[in-house]
Amino acid sequence: MAKLTLDDLRKLRDEQQKAMTKRDPSNKSAKVIVGMGTCGIAAGAKETFNAIIEELDAKGVDSVLVSQTGCMGLCHSEPTVEVIMPGMPVVIYGNVDAATGRQLVNEHIINKRLIDNHICDKPAIDIVR
């Protein structure tokens, strides 16, 4: 693999942006935040973060912003992931390994369905499927 420069990255980004503009011009409307405190790191949050990024990219979902934060105070349920989406309750999911991270992309973000058995910070009971 040859070394990549920042100029190479700019070119790749420009090519990608042209394709993205054709595919979906919608604004970024959702946020996914992965807890990356000591507890999250020890529980495998980095793998979760990578899996979410890869799945979003593979499914062509470009309306979501992904970031990391520190400990969310739910160390017993790490890795934790907060999902903020219009039309959906704000949810903190717990015990989100890489496979659950992919499931989160497909169920919560694409199909707009909650993943019941991973909800830590619960929305109102009547919202849960």
Partner 1 sequence: MHASVCDTLTDLVQNAIESGAARIETDVHTGPDRIELRVKDNGKGMDKTALRRAVDPFFSEKGKHDRRRVGLGLPLLYQTAEAANGSVEVRSVPGQGTEVRFTLDARHVDAPPLGDLPATLVGLMAFEGTYELVLKRTTDTGSYAVSRSELRDALGDLREPACLTLAKRFFEANEASLTNGR
- C-alpha neighbours within 13 Å on the C-beta side of residue 121: 15
Binding status of residue 125 toward partner 1 by CB under 8 A? no
Among 24, 27, 42, 123, binds partner 1 (CB under 8 A): 42
Q: Which is nearer to partner 1, 66 or 85 (CB)?
A: 66
**3-state class (DSSP) for residue 84:** strand
Our finding on whether 75 is near partner 1 (CB under 8 A) is: yes
By CB under 8 A, tell whether 20 contacts partner 1: yes
Figure out which of the listed residues 41, 84, 115, 119 binds partner 1, where binding follows CB under 8 A: 41
As a whole number of angstroms, the distance between CA 33 and CA 23 comes to: 25
